[in-house]
Amino acid sequence: MHEPPTARTETVRDTYFGVTIADPYRWMETETAEFDSWLDGQDAYARDVLEALPGRAEILARLRSLRADQGVRRLGVTLAGGYVFALREDPGKAVPVLVASGTGAAERVLLDPNTMRDPDGAAHHAVDWYVPSPDGRYVACGVSMGGSERSVLRVVEVPTGDLLPDAIDGAWLRFVSWLDDGESLLYHRFRGTDRRDSRSLRHRLGTDPATDLVLLARGLNERLPLSPVDRPLLYRPPGSAWTVAIVSYSGLSGSVTSDLGDCTLYVAPTECLDEPADCPWRLVAAREDGVTAFALGPDTVYLVSHRDAPRRRVLAVPAADGPSRVAVPEGERVVTAVDVVHGHLFVREHDGGVARLRRAPLDGARIAPGGGEPVEVPLPIDGAITEWTELPDPPGLRIVLDSWTSPMRTYRYHIGTGEFSAGGSRAGHEDVLAYRVFAPARDGTPIPISLVHRRDLAYDGRNPVWLAGYGAYGITLVPGYEPHRAVWLEHGGIWAVAHLRGGGEYGRAWHEAGRLSTKENTVTDFIDCAEHLVARGYTRPGLLVGVGGSAGGIPTGGALVRRPDLWGAMVISVPVVNSLRFEFSENGPINMGDLGSLRTEDGFRSLLMSDAYHRVHDGTAYPPVLLTAGRNDSRVPAWQPGKFAARLRAAALDGLTLLRVDSDAGHGFGSTADQRDIEFADQFAFALAAVEGKLTGRPRGPA
């Protein structure tokens, strides 16, 4: 068996606002052969330990069987020009393929990234996103290698299936809009790995991207001011006379018209884009308006805003000129998105994370006379809306609903009749319950916990619990079916999701209660949820497995270093655990609005509060910890979990810390099916061995 290499220490001391911070592993933040070699050694040791765990081979076989049983799935379905486009997951394919089908024609593959290879054959490819032209002749795709999400924009000609020579690197975001000529598109581009001074441009197929017209950039148009780290983005629905410019100041979830976070919005006539410096951009939503989503009607912009409405309301703003007015007032539920479909305004909401839908007929910018407020559209199941697409004839919506216990199912909503018709369905988790309990936080706030477990579970305190948490950026953790969850349930476990403050389950106030100076709530909520599950008899200390990834490393890492006695194990993936230094990474600056910045004393104290790395104490008995990193991660660099692993291993009395490093992966997006199966097998086997006392030799479960 490989032995884990010891990390050398070279302490750097920084003083911020009178507080001196010692950092023994700062050297890892610089890409060097030494750090690469150290990561290789950590991964070799982790693989040795993980592959020898009892039951791992059987768990991996079961995961592969569950995936095969899923059959073919189609995700991200879009209609254009008489074609139906989708990303198709095939059990025998590593990553999804782009497919299209027309009226009366068989479905065919347009782009199969499984057949693409980098020059040395080491990295796999994946389609990160796609946008068809309105006439369906072309599809613009973002293709990246090794899970990096560093997309290169490619274009497929649909009738022939040919991949055109056009290739534009730096097109990492899905903000692509086609123009009416069917051969020109608007796109956003980062310049290299430096995310400063990004821009939006116009490209015509067959031309050199170096000659593309720059439409939005810092210093280009005085009506639309930009700082070096602002991201200027463009969106234009097919055929619209108007184009929306979104200036994003924070992280994006991948959606184009919703989950926008901190931003401003402008609108201009599409015909004026030809003169970028003089384009008459009109501000329709300032940063302080708190816009999180929008929809563009024929002459009106509909804005979802949390200004003076913590659970958000919908404003209607004339595109040409004029003041805004309230189209849909704030209610008890949180508004998440809007869309204009066949003369109706559809309003998506969630009630503590469960999706709801309302609609109202429009008369221009206003709800039609007699329409009143939007009326409820009762959904067939309680769950989450994962996709919705306009259907042309008869007028309606294609809606995909997901839940904790059943696979995603497609429904057609008929606007004329107000009825749903369902597509095919697959069996979900049989004999499984899904419900919600509330844990009292230490300040009295009820924190929701979603629980999934077998019906015959005994509340005897002997159940291992997989407790996941995130609580950042106002993101809501919604119901979702995951086949791999069956493995944990089959081992007698409880699957739990803690809906922490810092997320968006109850709107802006919930987000603000776990952001910047209140970020401590995110960590203590996670601890309080764990203690509540113990108090209610679901489990006991030592049987709890804390799980988090990315910004979810803040509550999990924070709970680990504050209450190491509570946990049987921690599984922390591609995490932010050294908040004080995140600002100096490639993706860090755009996230500082949620975490804080070292440039201010308040920001420094917020970062220090959420930094798990600097709270590790020597001589502490930490439970087993499994950390993961992706070599190609463009969001959280490998030195974040690397520094944490080194510090834990140096400090712990007898705990086991593993750092699993994937050289052909990034943040998890774009990973192959087998990569996901192997990682889940490692995580489940590690967690089960830990709670059964098989990793350190000291019992942690029930006697």
Of the ranges 153-162, 365-374, 685-694, which one carries the lowest mean pLDDT score?
365-374
Residue 227 has pLDDT above 80, yes or no: yes
Integer Cα distance of 634 and 483 in angstroms: 27
Match 């006392």 to its residue by tokens.
693
What mean pLDDT value characterizes the chain?
94
E-only strand ranges, 297-416:
300-305, 313-318, 325-328, 334-341, 344-351, 354-363, 366-367, 375-376, 384-391, 396-402, 409-414
Neighbouring-strand partners of residue 361: 344
* Amino acid sitting at position 698: R
Residue 368 has pLDDT above 80, yes or no: no
**Axis crossing angle, helix 673-691 with helix 33-51, rounded to the nearest 10:** 70
pLDDT, tens only, 663-682: 999 999 999 999 999 999 99
The pLDDT value recorded for residue 427 is: 66
Residue 698 has pLDDT above 60, yes or no: no
Contact 519, 502 (CB under 8 A): yes
Residue 103 has pLDDT above 90, yes or no: no
Helix (H) or strand (E) holding 50: helix 33-51
The pLDDT value recorded for residue 697 is: 39
C-alpha torsion angle, residues 318, 322, 324, 326 (rounded to 10):
-80
Q: What are the Cα distances from residue 42, in Å, to 25, 45, 52, 406, 658?
A: 15, 5, 16, 38, 7
Average confidence (pLDDT) over 614-625:
96
**Per-residue DSSP letters for 403-423?**
-SSS--EEEEEETTTTEEEE-
SS3 398: strand
The pLDDT value recorded for residue 122 is: 73
Average confidence (pLDDT) over 197-219:
97
Cβ neighbours of residue 535 closer than 8 Å, sequence gap 6 or more: none
Number of H helices, E strands in the chain: 11, 39
pLDDT, tens only, 568-590: 999 999 999 999 999 999 999 99
Q: Tell me the chain's radius of gyration from C-alpha atoms.
A: 25
Q: What are the Cα distances from residue 85, in Å, to 126, 127, 483, 494, 512?
A: 16, 13, 25, 37, 39
pLDDT, tens only, 447-477: 999 999 999 999 999 999 999 999 999 999 9
Helix (H) or strand (E) holding 521: helix 520-535
Nearest CA-CA partner of 23 in 444, 614, 545, 652: 614
Contact 595, 582 (CB under 8 A): yes
Integer Cα distance of 188 and 170 in angstroms: 8
* Amino acid sitting at position 129: W
**Token duo for residue 42:** 């950590």
Nearest CA-CA partner of 636 in 685, 694, 544, 572: 572
The pLDDT value recorded for residue 325 is: 92
β-bridge pairing 465-469 and 544-549 = parallel
Of the ranges 115-119, 225-229, 645-649, which one carries the lowest mean pLDDT score?
115-119
CB < 8 Å & 24+ apart, contacts of 671-676: 671/126, 671/147, 672/94, 672/95, 672/124, 672/126, 673/67, 673/89, 673/91, 673/93, 673/94, 673/95, 674/64, 674/94, 675/147, 676/484
Confidence of residue 701 (pLDDT cuts 50, 70, 90): very low
- pTM above 0.85? yes
Residue 699 has pLDDT above 60, yes or no: no
N-term to C-term CA, the chain: 31
Nearest CA-CA partner of 43 in 94, 4, 97, 98: 4
Nearest CA-CA partner of 255 in 396, 376, 387: 387
**Per-residue DSSP letters for 78-94?**
EEETTEEEEEEE-TT-S
Integer Cα distance of 666 and 654 in angstroms: 31
Q: What are phi and psi of 632, to 5 degrees?
A: -100, 20
Residue 654 has pLDDT above 90, yes or no: no
Other CB atoms closer than 10 Å to residue 257's CB: what's the count? 18
Sign of CA dihedral 522, 527, 531, 536: positive
Cβ neighbours of residue 542 closer than 8 Å, sequence gap 6 or more: 567, 568, 623, 691, 700, 701
SS3 457: coil
Contact 384, 537 (CB under 8 A): no
SS3 639: helix
Integer Cα distance of 661 and 627 in angstroms: 9
pLDDT, tens only, 483-499: 999 999 999 999 999 99
* Amino acid sitting at position 179: L
The pLDDT value recorded for residue 370 is: 62
Q: CA angle 320-326-330, nearest 5°?
A: 145
Integer Cα distance of 538 and 612 in angstroms: 27
